[in-house]
Structures are given as C-alpha cells and as structure tokens.
C-alpha cells in the first residue's frame, strides 16, 4: 500500500469537505490570476505606451543627458548606433531622435514645451504615439523641410490650424538662442492634455541645422523590443558593444522613466501583498480542514503506529494529503479560471464609462479596457505559490499527527 494512494483515499473519504477546501484553493487561483493577469496586461500596456511617447524601451544617449538634458549632450554617430542596435536580437525598431525644450510661438501667443525631432522617412505610427493619434493632416514628408506636427491642445492655445506658421526658439549646442520656423502639417490628440499641450514634432534635419549639430548627431536612439521584459538583458548586450565608448550610455525604460517604474513597482508590491493575504486566509482554511481530519483520525494513527509505522511516515502521509489537496485545488482552479481568463484575454471589460477614455497615470495613458495577459513566469509563480501555501498549511497538522503517541489513543472508553 503506497502512502500516496492512502492519502488520496483519505481525502476522498470526506469528499464534500475535500472538494470544498479544494474549491477555496481554486478560488485563490482565480483571484490570483485575476490580479496578476490584469496587472500584467496593464503594465505591459503602460510600458509600451510610454515607450512610444519618445524614449523607447531602451534609449541610447550621452551618459549625462539623463541628468541634465541640455542640447550639447549628444551622440555623434547616432545612425551607426541605430544600425548596431537593429542587428541585436529582440530589437524590433530603433529611431534616431533629438529631444529638448523649446518655446513655441504663433502670432502674439507663446507656450513652453518639448520637441521631438524625428526622421520622417523612418518613423512609423507603430513606434510613435503622436503619429498614431493624428486627428488632422499628416506627418511631414521627408522633403517638407519645415513641417511640424503639434498637439491638439497647443493648436488650440496658439490658434494653429493646418498650414499655419509656428516659430520655435531653443538653445543650441553652444548655449545660444536660435529660432526656426515651421509650418503645421498635422495635429495629434493622445487624450492626455499635458502631452497634447506641450509636444511638437519636427524633422531631424531641421533640428540638426538649428542646433548646429553634426550630420549624424542626435540626443538619443530610441530602441523598441519585442518584449519589454528583455530590457535589462538587451541593455547588457548593447552596453557591452559600447563598453569602450564613454560618450554612449544605455538606459532601460525603468531608468529613463523612474516615475513609471516606481508606480509599477509599488502597484505590483501592493498586488503581491493583497494576494499573499488572500493566500493566508485560504491556507488557514486548508489547515483547519487538515487539522480537523487529523483530530478525527487519532485512533487510526494510534493503530498504525502501534503496528510499527514511524512518526515520520505519519507526517509524510498527512503532507501527502495536503499535497493532493493542493493539486486538486490547482486542477479545479485551472478549470474554473480558463473560461474567465480566455474571455478577459480576448474581450475584456470596458471601464471607459467609469474612468473616462483619457485616463493617465504616471504620465502615461492607461487603456480603459481591462484585459488579461499572463506572463508564463507569472502563471508558474501562481501555481508554485498556491501549491507551496497548501503544503505549508499541511505542516502543522502533519506534525500534530506525527506526535500521536500510540498508547494514549488506544485507550478505550
């Protein structure tokens, strides 16, 4: 007789109790998947959205640019950096950009803001949220030397329409004030007013000319990855390529967007804590069930130990029961969670009625549709955590059973 079989039959002896307990484990799986998958989805979304707002998943830039983003800090061979980056596995796109502060003026009005100078021949909506959210006109073409794309809010503030002139003033690489003239070719609307009121796109060539940059110079190369989770690894690879270049630094999105990274870290921590607490409540329930079952079986343990079973074997038997309970719970969990997960992964729940269409957090637009996405490692983590909690819940009852002394329990009456 194998202990494993015995443990299973013991569990099935009180089917109702075992199934109810297993369902509480399954419910834990469902909750855990709900929490984790909705945040895995939301984080991925936020990270990818933030990446397409300018800096990419990784940005290659002058090592001092992050701390003091003045326009004298620049990469001198941005195109070469871009080419090397594109050869790295996991990189889906790399864009050369110049980013900085400027004053924008039209007629009598002016506002401060930020510009992103891009190569119109290379940028695509896929990696540029402003081109993705154009509401009027289009991006300037490669031969529109003075084309600009402005946000809807700025257009409103400065009374801009397509074809209108926009004057922008910035400090060049030597600290001198320079002004350039642009003509509005497109207007975007991301939905975030602080972005729509401040960001202006214009051609890379115009920025280079105005700032006095060398022909291949740029503030950064924004790199996009097929999976943001690879950021650290790929940063390591790229940094290795330029180990001998003190003028080139690589930052992950966490480093270039510490606010977002912090927000996600705190949210994730809170999430884990919540899940852990739910887990504890469930574990307490499991422990209670096992303890009850152990108490009811004192006589049986007494007999088995009288017959020569070792305390360690009794402990193993009860641990195997909790192991079965964990597996049963996981199996039920998968059964009840799968349809819910599939629905949420494909369709999701639209919260735009509750939170509005243009909700942003940490400076990043948040998708109002709650959907699920579960990373493989998250799924394994949930399975491992649920299973270990069940096992941990079994430890005390198991030792309780192992401490049974045969004589005390064979006294009749």
Partner 1 sequence: MNNTPLVQLENVSRIYQQGKVQVAAVTEFSLDVQAGEFSVLCGPSGSGKTTILNLIGALDEPSLGRVRLEGRDLAELGRSDLARLRRDRIGFVFQSYNLNPVLTACENAEFVLALQNIPKAQRRQRVMAVLAEVGMAELAQRRPDELSGGQQQRVAIARAIVSHPAIVLADEPTANVDSATADAILDLMVRLNQEQGITFLFSTHDQRVMDRARRLIHLRDGRLEHDEVRG
Instruction: Confirm or reject binding of residue 6 to partner 1 (CB under 8 A).
Output: yes
Least separation, in Å, of the C-beta of 8 and partner 1? 9
Least separation, in Å, of the C-beta of 37 and partner 1? 39
Least separation, in Å, of the C-beta of 328 and partner 1? 16
Least separation, in Å, of the C-beta of 293 and partner 1? 12
Nearer to partner 1, 306 or 369 (CB): 306
Reading the block at residue 346, the tokens are: 């494909």
Residue labelled with tokens 């996991």: 90
Nearer to partner 1, 301 or 372 (CB): 301
Task: Specify the DSSP class assigned to residue 216.
Answer: T
**In 49-146, at which residue ranges do the beta strands (DSSP E only) sit?**
58-61, 91-106, 109-118, 134-137
Q: Pick the closest to residue 330 from 5, 32, 22 (CA basis).
A: 22
Tell me the DSSP string of 316-372: HHHHHHHHHHHHHHHHHHHHHHHHHHHHHHHT-EE-HHHH-S-EEETTEEE-SEE--
Site string for partner 1, 391-410 (x = CB under 8 A): ---------------xx--x
Question: Contact with partner 1 (CB under 8 A): which of 9, 109, 229, 403?
Answer: 9
- Binding to partner 1 (CB under 8 A) within 296-315 occurs at 299-300, 303-311, 313
Region of 2-10, 253-261, 355-363, 390-398 interacting with partner 1 (CB under 8 A): 2-10
Instruction: Confirm or reject binding of residue 19 to partner 1 (CB under 8 A).
Output: no
**350 backbone φψ class: left, alpha, beta (φ>0; ψ -120 to 50):** beta
Task: Give the Cα separation of 318 and 391 in Å (integer).
Answer: 10
Residue labelled with tokens 């079986």: 297
Nearer to partner 1, 276 or 299 (CB): 299
Instruction: Confirm or reject binding of residue 177 to partner 1 (CB under 8 A).
Output: no
Q: List Cβ neighbours of 27 (8 Å cut-off, separation of 6 or more).
A: 282, 333, 336
Site string for partner 1, 312-351 (x = CB under 8 A): -x--------------------------------------
* Residues in contact with partner 1 by the rule CB under 8 A: 1, 6, 9-10, 13, 299-300, 303-311, 313, 406-407, 410-412
């Amino acid at each position: 007789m194998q202990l494993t079989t015995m443990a299973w039959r013991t569990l099935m002896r009180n089917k109702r109790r075992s199934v109810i307990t297993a369902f509480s484990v399954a419910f834990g799986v469902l909750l855990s998947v709900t929490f984790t998958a909705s945040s895995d989805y939301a984080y991925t979304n936020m990270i990818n959205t933030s990446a397409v707002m300018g800096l990419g998943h990784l940005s290659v830039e002058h090592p001092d640019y992050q701390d003091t983003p003045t326009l004298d800090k620049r990469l001198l061979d941005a195109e070469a950096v871009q080419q090397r980056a594109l050869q790295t596995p996991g990189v889906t796109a790399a864009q050369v950009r110049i980013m900085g502060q400027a004053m924008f003026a039209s007629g009598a009005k002016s506002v401060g803001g930020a510009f992103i100078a891009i190569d119109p021949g290379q940028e695509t909506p896929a990696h540029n949220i402003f081109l993705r959210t154009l509401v009027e006109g289009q991006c300037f073409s490669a031969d529109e030397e003075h084309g600009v794309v402005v946000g809807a809010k700025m257009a409103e503030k400065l009374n801009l329409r397509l074809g209108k002139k926009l004057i922008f003033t910035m400090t060049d690489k030597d600290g001198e004030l320079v002004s350039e003239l642009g003509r509005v070719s497109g207007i975007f609307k991301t939905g975030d007013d602080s972005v729509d009121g401040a960001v202006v796109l214009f051609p890379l060539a115009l920025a280079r000319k105005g700032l006095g940059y060398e022909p291949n110079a740029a503030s950064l190369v924004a790199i996009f990855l097929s999976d943001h989770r690879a950021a650290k690894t790929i940063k390591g690879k790229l940094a290795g390529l330029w180990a001998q270049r003190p003028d080139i630094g690589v930052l992950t999105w966490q480093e270039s967007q510490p606010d977002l990274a912090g927000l996600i870290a705190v949210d994730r921590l809170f999430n884990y804590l919540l899940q852990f607490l739910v887990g504890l409540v469930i574990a307490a329930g499991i422990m209670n069930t096992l303890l009850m079952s152990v108490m009811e079986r004192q006589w049986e343990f007494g007999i088995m130990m009288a017959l020569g079973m070792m305390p360690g074997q009794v402990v193993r038997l009860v641990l195997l029961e909790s192991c079965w309970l964990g597996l049963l719970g996981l199996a039920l969990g998968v059964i009840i969670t799968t349809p819910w997960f599939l629905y949420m992964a494909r369709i999701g729940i639209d919260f735009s009625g509750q939170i509005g269409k243009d909700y942003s957090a940490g400076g990043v637009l948040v998708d109002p549709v709650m959907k699920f996405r579960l990373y493989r490692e998250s799924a394994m983590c949930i399975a491992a955590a649920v299973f270990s909690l069940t096992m941990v819940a079994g430890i005390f009852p198991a030792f309780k059973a192992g401490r049974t002394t045969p004589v005390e329990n064979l006294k009749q009456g």
